[in-house]
Amino acid sequence: MHHARLWHTETVLENGKVLVTGGINNDTYLNSAELHDPLTGTWTITNSMINSRRLHTASVLLNGKVLVSGGTDIYSSNTELYDPSIGIWTETDNLNVVREHHTASELLDGKVLVTGGTAIYLSSPQLYTEGIAIQMRTVSENDTQIRTWAITGSMNIGRYAHSAFLLTNGKVLIAGGIHNGTILNSAELYDPSTGTWKTTSNMHNERYDHKASVLRNGKVLVTGGEIDKNLYNAKLYDLSTRIWAQTDKMNNGRLLAYSICIKK
C-alpha cells in the first residue's frame, strides 16, 4: 500500500478490486483511499474521503457504490458514498447517532444494518435504505433516490468491537464484543422481517475484535479476538441448532485479523 494504516476498512468491489479506506498512522487519522488490483498485484491511489476516519465501516450497496459510516477522529455520525465508476466521494444522510467500532451488514433487500459501537456502548441499530430505484437497478442516477436512516429494534445488550454477519436465512448474527468494560460471549439474532432481536446460545469464550465468516454449509466460523491475550481457538455456529461447537485451533492467536471465504 502507499500508506501504512491501522483500523481501516477493506471492501471488495463489483469489479474485483479492493477498496481500502481511512485508518490511523502514527496518531494521524487518514482520509486517504487506495485500490488494489488482484490481477496485477498493484495499488493505485483513488480520491480521498471527505472526512478522516478510523474504526468505521464500509459496505457495498446493490448499485455498486460503497457506503462508509461513522468512525473519524471524533465520534461521528456522518456518512459518505464512493462511486467506483468515477472514483468520487459524496456525503449522504447522517446516522441518527454517532458511532465508531460498530458493524455494518448488507441485508438481502439491499438495506444496511448498523449495530452497536461506542458513544456509550450503543444498543440501538439503524437501517440505511438506498432507495427502491437503486435496489432494482432499473433507473438512472438522475432519478430521485431515497437515502435515509431509520431506527430499528434495539439489541438486548449494547456492545462494540463485536462481529456481525448475514446468515443464509437473511438474519444477522451478532456475537461477542465489549459492554461497560466487560468482554462478552453472548450472541443475538436480528430478524429483518420483524425488526426484532432474540438471544441465541453463548459462545464458549468471551472475545472482542474477532472475525466471523459464513461458510458454504451455512455455518458461521468465528476466529481470533482477545480476552487477556490473543485467542487461538475457533468456534462454529450452526444455524439449524443454534449451538456453538469447537473446531481446530489456529496455529497463531491473532487480534483484528481479516477472514475471507475461498471458493474452490
Look at residue 27 in the predicted model and tell me its pLDDT: 87
Average pLDDT on 55-77 reads 87
Question: What confidence category does residue 18 fall into, taking pLDDT thresholds of 50, 70 and 90?
Answer: very high
Average pLDDT on 55-62 reads 92
Look at residue 137 in the predicted model and tell me its pLDDT: 19
d(CA 117, CA 135): 27
Least reliable range by pLDDT among 88-92, 96-100, 141-145: 141-145
Q: What own/partner pairs with CB < 8 Å and gap ≥ 24 does 144-153 have?
A: 147/92, 147/93, 148/93, 149/93, 149/94, 149/95, 149/96, 150/126, 151/96, 151/124, 151/125, 151/126, 152/113, 152/125, 152/126, 152/127, 152/195, 153/125, 153/190, 153/194, 153/195, 153/196, 153/197
Average pLDDT on 127-147 reads 34
Q: What is the residue-averaged pLDDT of the chain?
A: 80
d(CA 233, CA 253): 8
Q: What is the per-residue DSSP string for 75-115?
A: TB--EEEEETTTTEEEEEPPPSS-BBS-EEEE-TTS-EEEE
Look at residue 130 in the predicted model and tell me its pLDDT: 47
Considering 76-85, 122-131, 247-256, the range whose residues carry the highest mean pLDDT is 76-85
Which set of grid coordinates corresponds to residue 54? 478510523
Look at residue 1 in the predicted model and tell me its pLDDT: 84
d(CA 128, CA 229): 35
Question: What confidence category does residue 128 fall into, taking pLDDT thresholds of 50, 70 and 90?
Answer: low
Least reliable range by pLDDT among 154-158, 195-199, 218-222: 218-222
Look at residue 171 in the predicted model and tell me its pLDDT: 93
For the question of whether the overall pTM of this predicted structure is more than 0.85, the answer is no
Question: What confidence category does residue 67 fall into, taking pLDDT thresholds of 50, 70 and 90?
Answer: very high
Look at residue 98 in the predicted model and tell me its pLDDT: 80
Cα of 5 vs its chain's centroid, Å:
18
Least reliable range by pLDDT among 25-39, 122-136, 150-164, 205-219: 122-136
Look at residue 124 in the predicted model and tell me its pLDDT: 59
How large a percentage of the chain has pLDDT more than 70? 79
Domains, the chain, with CATH or none: 159-259 (2.40.128)
Least reliable range by pLDDT among 34-38, 249-253, 257-261: 257-261
d(CA 37, CA 204): 39
Look at residue 125 in the predicted model and tell me its pLDDT: 64
Is the pLDDT at 264 greater than 90, yes or no?
A: no
Average pLDDT on 251-261 reads 47
Average pLDDT on 235-241 reads 84
